[in-house]
Amino acid sequence: MFSQFKKIIKPLGVLALLHFVKCDSSGSMTEGKSKVLTQNTFSEEVPKNNYFIMFYAPWCGHCKNLHPIWEELADMLNDSEDSRVTIGQVDCTVEKQLCADQEITGYPTLKFFKKGSESEASKFRGTRDLPTLTNFINEQISETPKEPSDKPIVNEGLVELTEESFEKYVSLGNHFVKFYAPWCGHCQSLAPVWQELASHFKTEEDVSIAKIDCTQHRSICQSFDIKSYPTLLWIESGKKLDKFQGSRTLETLVNYVSKMKGPLNKKADSPDAENASEVPVKPEPVVSLTSENFNDVIKSGTVFIKFFAPWCGHCKRLAPTWEELGTKLLDNKHGIVIAKVDCTQELSKDLCNQEGVDGFPSIYVYKNGVRTAEYNGSRDLEELYQFILKHKVESHDEL
């Protein structure tokens, strides 16, 4: 899936090389990307970031089996300057005192240290495959406390509100807010649709699409008398005007927002006003998939899918190119759908395992419900474009 690891260190002497090493199948040491930690560097480095650390012995068979996977994690995370997680390793045959301090009694032992701590850690106890390890990382990151801020976080048009930012943000203008709980199944099903809804309206200044987690910000949800999840409220200038009660499809939600913010009323004098009962939904360039809609989307035609994790550095770099590819093919006559699956979402974890995703990003072609190819080339827009066109043409030739 991934290209061979490139050597990232020029000969800078023995001490420099020791910071990037890995075990090969024979147990000898070669260059790698997992950061080596020692008794002298551990206390200084670990508090600087979230650290996922493998404590191992070079002679350990299970450690040797894990090393290639550990290096894939390091390749995805350690190259990115803004990565929230650093992948590290400690050789317990060398750093005996450090491993004793960490109460290491078996190999390999995997521990996740949250930023700011070198003593308290969560021990990984699952199977040592890439999807399980990445899910564990995502769970640890999501639990990392965030510093309170009165400025909301905006992701592709979707505004994430908190107790600190809510009141000020909704005090002016029109806001369609989703009150939810992460454990709620209906909320999880709505999540990709809500994100698409936000993307649809992200360039419009007279409305915002927002969400607030009621398990984290209870006081806000209590003030709006939220008793079930998800609850979708239309809020204007800080006051609740309406509660959405319709079906939670993208088309229905788009029409509801368009009606509530009033564009149809502005066109009342238009000759076509009587026929303007609905606002057409603009297709999104990249379709968000989960286990709930995956089979329906891939069952006919050609679908080019990116399986990714939000924290993955390679995935972040590919994201704008993938959107460009979707835009380029949006109005094409080839019938090609560009899609994506977030493998960290609860609704997608089993799907990613089922599809054999063992690294991020993984890019597959599906034809009439069957996976026909995997993309392993450079992540350049033109190469991706030519690749999927070629596979579309080949699919027709095979018929």
**pTM score of the predicted model:** 0.48
State yes or no: cis peptide before 361, omega within 30 of 0: yes
Query: For 84-118, what is each residue's pLDDT tens digit?
Result: 899 999 999 999 999 999 999 889 999 999 988 87
The structural domains of the chain, with segments of one domain joined by +, span 35-141, 153-261, 287-391
- Residue 20, pLDDT score: 35
Q: What is the pLDDT of residue 208?
A: 95
Homologous superfamily in CATH for domain 287-391:
Glutaredoxin (3.40.30.10)
Query: What's residue 14's pLDDT?
Result: 27
Residue 20: Cβ within 10 Å count: 18
Q: What is the pLDDT of residue 11?
A: 29
Positions in the chain whose pLDDT score sits under 50: 1-30, 144, 263-282, 393-399
- In three-state secondary structure terms, 347 is helix
pLDDT attached to residue 283:
61
User: What span, in angstroms and rounded, lies between the C-alpha atoms of 291 and 149?
Assistant: 34
Name residue, tokens 């350990």. Answer: 60
Say which amino acid occupies 209.
I
Residue whose C-alpha is closest to residue 206's, from 131, 168, 262, 252: 262
CA distance 196 to 236: 22
Taking only the tens place, the pLDDT of each residue in 42-91 is 999 999 999 999 999 999 988 999 999 999 888 888 877 778 899 999 99
Q: Does 153-261 match 35-141 at the fold level?
A: yes
- Assigned CATH class of 153-261: alpha beta
Domain 35-141 falls in which CATH fold?
Glutaredoxin (3.40.30)
State the catalytic residues. Answer: 60, 63, 184, 187
**Is the dihedral angle over the CA atoms 96, 98, 102, 107 positive or is it negative?**
negative
DSSP states of 309-332 as a string?
-TT-HHHHHHHHHHHHHHHHTTT-
The string of DSSP letters for 243-311 reads: E--S---HHHHHHHHHHHH-HHHHTTTSTTGGG--SPPPPPPSSEEE-TTTHHHHHTSSEEEEEEE-TT
